[in-house]
Amino acid sequence: MTTPLSITLSQINPIVGDMPYNLDKIRRVRDEMSAQTDLIVFPELSVCGYPPEDLILKPFFLDKVESAVRALVSESEKNGPALLISAPWRIDGKTYNAALLIEGGAIKAVRAKHLLPNYGVFDELRVFTPGPLPDPVSFKGVNLGIMICEDMWSPDVAAHLKSRGAALLIVLNASPFEADKNDLRQEQARRRAQENALPLLYVNQCGGQDELVFDGASFVLDKDGRVLEQMVKFEESARTVFYPLASSPSDVPDEDPHKVLYTALVTGLRDYVSKNRFPGVIIGMSGGIDSALSAAIAVDALGPERVQCVMMPSKFTSQESLDDAENCAKALGASYEIISIESAVTAFENELASFLKDAPPVTHENIQPRCRGLILMALSNASGRMVLSTGNKSEMAVGYATLYGDMCGGFNVLKDVYKVQVYELSRWRNTQSPVIPESIITKKPTAELKPDQCDQDTLPPYEELDDILHCLIELDLGVDGIVARGHAPETVRRVWRMLDLAEYKRRQAPPGVKVTSRAFGRDRRYPITNHFVNIIEKA
């Protein structure tokens, strides 16, 4: 080959089901790059967005997808770059997750995804048919080995492509973000490149979709698995490379993990609010660290003009909390209002007095957050803004939250963030600009539902609690394995019991950004009616 083959990697942020919107993005990249590239590669299911879930089961949806693809095919009759796109594609009555090579007014090749993930947040086997092991696609004299996401995670697909003459591996992906996952992706890609002595191009989706957030971070490896190109995280971008690839590896700077995690949360919230067309968010400010960090993320995601902070004090709310909430909102530039719940709580207490004579104290305590929830939802109905709930993963895990109270809302940006991480992220955010008062970070956490209340009256210290929860949730360890890390057996059993008992609450909690390997929801599906913890306690 005398002329190098130019290939553009384009990581875009699609919207599931909005084919006109997604095609506009594809066209814009195509038109901008038409004079400087031979082939543009887009992420997995870029035509319809990922994951489309049960939309795939609607024939009418598939008709619309096919119409969108046919429009791109028709437009490709003019001189322009070839497109390697991905879409749900019907062949002989079966639906595949497929890559399609479009060039010169025709679909030159179709390659179906061979390995369909069926774990964690993925259940592609429910809606797609697995494709056969793919053969390479010849393009301008180069045999392209096309894989789709999960196909790269097993050596079989790449080895098959190599045996059939592939000269270059290209992987189309919609791989959700998890903390530290980029290293794992590159390690898998490095193995495929080294095992087959083939360069590899990895193109990933970016942006938020419901609870998932995609970080992009597309990259290029040489045949020895060295990084030649590394694209930005969480941003749409395009990068053109030339095959045969340059041999000089690129320096990939280390990134602050707090910055990466914070950016993932900002991206997830921004796209959830914007793609669902909410004009903004409403946050119940307590003067505590969770609502302060949630407000900071919201302002960074949406701008201060789209964030409304509301302090709803009761007779137990301290002056310090009032001052902290107001100072945080002002530092962020967000609007701030105070709506007292004292008269509402008194009215409920009086109305229910004859029914609550022998009720435990928690009954009366929980009237307060439920009054706050009612106020926030009324403000949401009035303005159209979405209520952003503020509970962290530690609280959601052990049920330290009030159903229909502080758990109400349309989204929870901290749902998959442990309490210790909340403190770390708050400190990191303040290094960018001081928006969270130091007094919020240093004071003891409290729900302020009764006099002199402190979280640690009910819960183990958060450093201890979070490690036990991490062992139970992400690592699936048993009691002995967790005790071996230095925790008391009775504490481990107590936390395990709280985790299981709170499952019914979590089923009713709002969605939130997934940033760990085991987020509550589709990642972790536990039965509500579950006596296994009773067996553990008796062991």
Catalytic center residues: 44, 113, 149
Confirm if 281 and 312 have CB atoms less than 8 A apart.
no
The radius of gyration computed from the CA coordinates of the chain, to the nearest angstrom, equals: 26
CA pair distance 456, 473, nearest whole angstrom: 21
Contacts 24+ apart (CB under 8 A), 138-145: 139/5, 139/38, 139/39, 139/82, 139/101, 139/103, 139/108, 140/5, 140/38, 141/1, 141/5, 142/1, 142/5, 142/167, 142/168, 142/243, 143/167, 143/168, 144/168, 144/170, 145/169, 145/170, 145/198
3-state SS of 58-127 is: CHHHHHHHHHHHHHHHHHCCCCCCEEEEEEEEEECCEEEEEEEEEECCEEEEEEECCCCCCCCCCCHHHC
Two tokens, residue 19: 């084919």
In contact, 490 and 511? CB cutoff 8 Å: no
Which residues are within 8 A (CB) of 277 and not within 5 positions of it... i.e. 6 or more apart? none
Distance CA 288, CA 380 (A): 22
**In 314-326, which positions are buried (b, 16+ CB within 10 angstroms) versus exposed (e)?**
bebbeeebeebbb
> Is the CB of residue 16 less than 8 Å from the CB of residue 52?
yes
Q: CA–CA distance from 519 to each of 358, 408, 411 (Å)?
A: 38, 19, 14
The count of other CB atoms within 10 Å of the CB of residue 139 is 21
**Pairing verdict, β 142-148 and 168-173:** parallel
Q: Nearest 10 degrees: CA dihedral of 136, 139, 140, 143? A: -10
Q: Are 342 and 469 in contact (CB under 8 A)?
A: no
DSSP classification of residue 136: P
Report residue 229: phi and psi, to 5°.
-140, 140
Contacts of residue 119, Cβ cutoff 8 Å, sequence gap at least 6: none
- CA 480, 482, 487 angle in degrees (round to 5)? 105
Q: What residues form DSSP beta bridges with 209?
A: 212
Tokens, residue 114? 């061979």
| Preceding peptide of 489 cis, ω within 30° | no
CA distance 159 to 154: 9
142: three-class secondary structure by DSSP: strand
The residues, any chain, with a CB within 8 Å of residue 533's CB and separated by 6 or more, are 493, 496, 497, 500
